[in-house]
Amino acid sequence: MISLHTEICDLLSIKHPILQGGMGPYKTESLAAAVSKAGALGVISSIGMAATLLPDAAPIDAIRLFGTDPPREILRKSVENVAKQLKSGGTFGVNIPVAAEFLLASKMFFEQVIESREGDSDVERALTVLVTSAGNPKPWAEIKKHGLTWIHVVPSVYHAKKAEAAGADIIVASGHEGGAHVSWDPVHSMVLVPAVAKAVKKPVVGAGGFCDGATLAAALCLGAQGIQMGTRFIATKESDFEPIWKQAIVDREERQTLTGRGLFGPMRFVRNTRAEKIVEQTLSDVPRFYLGEPVESNEDILKLERNGFEDLIDAKSDTALMFGGECVGRIEDIPTTSELIEDIISEAKESIKKMYKLL
Ligand SMILES: Cc1cc2nc3c(=O)[nH]c(=O)nc-3n(C[C@H](O)[C@H](O)[C@H](O)COP(=O)(O)O)c2cc1C
């Protein structure tokens, strides 16, 4: 059987060149363990764990999602749980957003990752990757001193060069069709991935719109060494997401996502009444030329988000807040992660064989 092996498989000690993207507000603990067991890279998501640090207007009902443990403790337990499940093999990572608004938590979670690895040999063996995103990579070069492989997520060639200069080992080029936070500049994967692959020497992974074997093969043609998937992994049996979120991903067609204002900038939402209201509010907040009066803040959006998370937990699918990428239109089932990954790999091989026959 021909294998589909790229440079990132060796760098990350994984069998298949597929990464699971960090995905708040969940810990993605069971998803990360399942993905890593299936031979790809599972990733624990830290962003939601910090929700208890937010003021009263917190957009996430943190206690209902995470209990009352302090953020570092939530991460410590999650990391230990996943490492325990991977005793017989497999590696995983932790995603830490490094946006300016999140830096307090970023530092705290980074220290916890180091402490967890130093204190437990199972964690040290299995937790080998740190994925930073949504901010400046420069202050994070220290990651390398701790023997971790460092992945940084970027939305442009400019940011990719910065990540390379800072010392990142792998660069994820994240196109505008992706779910949740997207860049202010709407550059999609078809343009972004080959441009980043050409501009840097480090291996590049494509993110945004990748969801099956055809798109994995396409990513390799565009010069990437693999793909990072978010939306596709939500709709899997083991994913930590609410059933209504998984179903929404299956039900929507490709036109049914919307971008509006989110926590650190624009976000791509699964289209429903909640997403439409957020977009409406975003547009009404767009700065205009006012003389005298200051422009309003985005507090109303935070309220809309917080209510949306409450409705998510209450399973109200029309008003729940759900993020998702344009590839919702290409997702029709809720398989196990291992079925999904095996299918993607065999379909990618078929696509590559078909292309070869064209020569
Ligand atoms: C629900 C959801 C939550 C996400 N949260 C994060 C996050 O916390 N940190 C991060 O770096 N990226 C986050 N992302 C982006 C993903 O890691 C990934 O790059 C993106 O989903 C890829 O595009 P796709 O949705 O088309 O697969 C999120 C995506 C989704 C869909």
208 C-beta closer than 6 A to ligand 1: yes
- 325 in any annotated domain: no
Residue 288 has a pLDDT of: 53
Residue 263 has a pLDDT of: 72
The verdict on 111 and 235 lying in the same domain is yes
**CA-wise closest residue to 119 among 147, 89, 79:** 79
Instruction: Using most ligand atoms within 8 A of CB, pick from 35, 78, 181 the residue to mutate for ligand 1.
Output: 181
308 C-beta closer than 6 A to ligand 1: no
pLDDT tens by residue, 78-120: 999 999 999 999 999 999 999 988 899 999 999 999 999 999 9
Between the CA of 21 and the centroid of ligand 1 the distance, in Å, is 5
Q: Note whether 52 and 66 are within 8 A (CB).
A: yes
The verdict on 188 and 289 lying in the same domain is no
The verdict on 37 and 177 lying in the same domain is yes
The verdict on 234 and 275 lying in the same domain is no
Between the CA of 180 and the centroid of ligand 1 the distance, in Å, is 5
Sheet with 180-181, edge to edge strand ranges:
180-181, 266-270, 257-261
Q: How far apart are CA 285 and CA 295, in angstroms?
A: 8
Residue 57 has a pLDDT of: 47
Closest residue (by CA) to atom 1 of ligand 1?
323
* Structural domain boundaries, residue 236: 7-241+331-357
Q: How far apart are CA 131 and CA 24, in angstroms?
A: 14
Residue 53 has a pLDDT of: 76
257 C-beta closer than 6 A to ligand 1: no
Residue 293 has a pLDDT of: 53
The verdict on 63 and 143 lying in the same domain is yes
CATH number reported for the structural domain that contains residue 180 in this entry: 3.20.20.70
66 C-beta closer than 6 A to ligand 1: no
The verdict on 219 and 189 lying in the same domain is yes
Tokens of 80: 């230990």
> 250: which DSSP letter?
H
203 C-beta closer than 6 A to ligand 1: no
Between the CA of 357 and the centroid of ligand 1 the distance, in Å, is 35
- 263 in any annotated domain: yes
* Parts of the chain with a pLDDT under 50: 57, 290
Number of compact structural domains in the chain: 2
24 C-beta closer than 6 A to ligand 1: yes
Q: Note whether 203 and 193 are within 8 A (CB).
A: no
The verdict on 210 and 300 lying in the same domain is no
